[in-house]
Amino acid sequence: MKKTTLLSITGLLAIGLMFGVNLAQAQSIGGQHAGTLDPTFGTGGTVTTRLGVTVTPVAAIEQSNGNIVVAAGIGDAFPSVSDFGLLVYSSSGTLIGRNSVAFGSNLYNDPVAAAVQPNGDIIVAGTSASVINEAQEFALARFTPNGQLDPTFGEGGLVTTIFSNPCCETGFMTFSSLLLQPNGQIVVAGSAPPGRRNSPGMMVLARYNSNGSLDTTFGTGGIVEQIPPPVSPAALALLANGSYLVEGGPGSVAEFGSTGVLQSTVTPGTVVAASQPTAASPIAFQPNGDYVTASTVGGGFQKTEVEAFRFSETGVEDPSFNSFKFNFGGVTSGFGGIALQSNGEILVAGSSALTRSGQGLFGVARLDSNGEFDATFGTGGTLTTTFAGSDSLGVSALLIQTDGKIVAVGGEIDPQNDNILDLTMARYFGN
């Protein structure tokens, strides 16, 4: 396997991860044990933000001044009108800023992924639609480090792209992946489902210049609409030769040339940039180009567990990786997301419950680079965390800070209004 150099960004993003141990346990085992709550963050290591509207986080970023920025959907209720938004927290977990944007007159603006450019600008990507669950446009917003829209990007900081959908009667589009190239260009991937029985569906790629304009040297006017879809895209990687690997999950991968032409075979190569894992794209690339993913699997009668897998960049499962079913310490566990630490260890997280009908918890496991539990993390490699409110719905973003601490961001049902989701965060010691 060839050596890989991944795109360097401020902080590591991830999707859908959950963590925890309560403070009493942390103190009883020495305070700074790996995976225990950091008492200098929020209240005893946790933060709950109730805005009176639904907040759906998709990514978390650490800025150079130590502030934590959460990219999220911010809506009136669940589900209802939604906008892209940024919530800014101090390093100690205090909310100090909020900004949200809509794309034109569209009511439903749903973020899926976010990434940081080398100058600290934040790209948030997703879909925009005038009718719920019928997204017709991919949407990009670029924010400056102070959280304001960047007027040099697109139209006042906003970009939308409408696809022709020649395969499908429906305009519904699903966004999956956001890739920042070292040259400043931006590549996004998604798909459109079949509009009728036996319709092939479509995979889409679009490449933008650093100012938000479509790169007309790619595909047709900057857009590739591949019918039938070779894969259902879940992650993107840029190879040193300029080609793109489009990972579709376990055993599924396609390669597109630098101008957007589908290649007949997939050729291994050096990865120079890769999309970060999100809830919509739960794939994390390791330094050698392999990628790790996980899923919820059956665990017996009315139980679910989690299992992680590793594949080569060409989609071949790695038999040397120890794939096994596990939970986060509860009876029922569900996968929420995955991320890699700089030392190669793998964080796998999701939801957990101590009983089949019990309160939802954050849950996390840490594996070594070959898939074994890291026994120094939590209790034998796993943790759970409760919040003071209602049921937790799990974590949808993860940040590994420059000091090694781990910030997990998720949501829970508001205890006063079960139509609203509140934002929850927890910070843990990483070492």
Local structure of 264: helix, strand or coil = coil
Q: Is residue 369 part of a domain?
A: yes
Q: Is residue 181 part of a domain?
A: yes
Count other C-beta atoms under 10 Å from residue 146's C-beta: 10
The answer to whether the CB of 243 falls within 8 A of the CB of 257 is yes
Q: What pLDDT shows up at residue 15?
A: 30
Q: Is residue 165 part of a domain?
A: yes
Q: Which residue has the higher pLDDT, 237 or 14?
A: 237
Q: In which band, very low, low, confident or very high, does the pLDDT at 274 lie, cut at 50, 70 and 90?
A: very high
Q: What pLDDT shows up at residue 330?
A: 72
Q: What pLDDT shows up at residue 25?
A: 38
Tokens standing for residue 377: 């993390």
Q: What pLDDT shows up at residue 335?
A: 83
Q: What pLDDT shows up at residue 23?
A: 33
Total number of domains in the chain = 1
Residue 233: asked if its preceding bond is cis (omega within 30°), the reply is no
Q: What pLDDT shows up at residue 7?
A: 33
Arithmetic mean of pLDDT, 165-193: 84
Rg (CA), the chain: 20
Calpha distance 431→411 (Å, rounded):
25
Q: What pLDDT shows up at residue 360?
A: 74
Q: Is residue 142 part of a domain?
A: yes
pLDDT higher than threshold 80 for residue 128: yes
pLDDT higher than threshold 70 for residue 133: no
Q: Is residue 100 part of a domain?
A: yes
Q: Is residue 123 part of a domain?
A: yes
- Angle of CA points 227, 228, 233, to nearest 5°: 95
Q: Is residue 6 part of a domain?
A: no
Q: What pLDDT shows up at residue 22?
A: 39
Q: What pLDDT shows up at residue 4?
A: 36
Calpha distance 18→363 (Å, rounded):
5
Percent of the residues in the chain that have a pLDDT greater than 70, as a whole number: 85
Span of 135-149, 156-170, 184-198, 275-289 with lowest mean pLDDT: 156-170
How buried is 27 (Cβ within 10 angstroms: 0-12 exposed, 13-18 middle, 19+ buried)? Answer: middle
Calpha distance 180→188 (Å, rounded):
9
Q: Is 292 left (phi over 0), alpha (psi -120 to 50) or beta?
A: beta
pLDDT, the chain, mean: 84
The string of pLDDT tens digits covering residues 3-42 is 333 333 233 333 333 333 333 333 333 458 999 999 999 9
Q: What is the DSSP letter of 379?
A: B
Per-residue b or e along 402-420, where b marks 16 or more CB atoms closer than 10 Å to that residue's CB:
eeebbbbbbbbbbeebeeb
Q: Is residue 17 part of a domain?
A: no
Q: Which of 177, 394, 236 is nearest to 306 (CA)?
A: 394
The string of pLDDT tens digits covering residues 410-420 is 888 888 888 88
Q: In which band, very low, low, confident or very high, does the pLDDT at 163 lie, cut at 50, 70 and 90?
A: confident
* CATH number assigned to the domain comprising residue 330: 2.120.10.10
Give the range with max mean pLDDT: 14-28, 103-117, 163-177.
103-117
The answer to whether the CB of 400 falls within 8 A of the CB of 342 is yes
Arithmetic mean of pLDDT, 187-196: 82
Q: Which residue has the higher pLDDT, 169 or 41?
A: 41
Integer CA distances (angstroms), 281 to 88, 226, 419, in order? 24, 19, 26
Local structure of 342: helix, strand or coil = coil
Calpha distance 392→274 (Å, rounded):
30
Span of 78-87, 324-333, 375-384 with lowest mean pLDDT: 78-87
Q: What is the DSSP letter of 421?
A: E
Domain that holds residue 187: 23-428
Percent of the residues in the chain that have a pLDDT greater than 90, as a whole number: 50
Q: In which band, very low, low, confident or very high, does the pLDDT at 357 lie, cut at 50, 70 and 90?
A: low
Local structure of 27: helix, strand or coil = helix
Q: What is the H or E stretch that residue 406 is in?
A: strand 406-414
Arithmetic mean of pLDDT, 332-342: 85
Calpha distance 376→76 (Å, rounded):
42
Q: What is the DSSP letter of 15?
A: B
